[in-house]
Amino acid sequence: MNTGSDGFGGGGATVSEEPRDRGLGSKAPEFIKSSPALHRGWQVGVFLVGLAVVGLGVLLLPLPGPGWLVIFAGLAIWATEFVWAQLVLRWTKRKVAEAAQRALDPRVRRRNLILTSIGVAIVIVLIIGYLWRFGWQPPWRIQR
C-alpha cells in the first residue's frame, strides 16, 4: 500500500502496488499535491470538515434524524484524503452488501415475516384487551 512521502496516504497509486490497493490515496487536485505545505493544509481542512460532519452524526444518533447516514457521509469526506478511511468505507460497503444479500434469503425473509406477524398479533390483542377493559378512554384519564 502506498502511503506517500508524508506517511498519511498522500501519494498517488504506483505501478508496483497490489491491484486491491488501486484507487487508494489522496484525491486532492494535482496543484495541491505538488506543494507539501499546501497538501498538509488540505489534509487538515478535510480532516476538520469530516470531523464536524461525523460529530454532527454522533449528535443525531439519539435524536430523530439520519445519524448513521451523516456519520458515513463524514467518513466519505475523510476517504477523499486518507487511506484508513477509504479502507473502513470499503469494509462498511462490503458488510452492508452482505447484510442485504442475507436479507434477501427466502428463509430469512420467511422468518422475519413470521416474527413480524406474531408481534403485530400481540399488539392487536393488547389493544383489543385495553379497549374491552377501559373503552376509548386515554390511559392518563383512567380512574381507579
Q: What's the pLDDT score for residue 55? A: 94
Q: What's the pLDDT score for residue 11? A: 47
Q: What is the pLDDT of residues 44-76, one digit of tens each?
A: 999 999 999 999 999 999 988 888 899 999 999
**pLDDT-flagged residues of the chain (< 50):** 1-19
Q: What's the pLDDT score for residue 91? A: 93
Q: What's the pLDDT score for residue 57? A: 92
86, three cell numbers: 477509504
Q: What's the pLDDT score for residue 53? A: 95
Q: What's the pLDDT score for residue 80? A: 87
56, three cell numbers: 454532527
Q: What's the pLDDT score for residue 13? A: 43
Query: pTM of the entire structure?
Result: 0.54
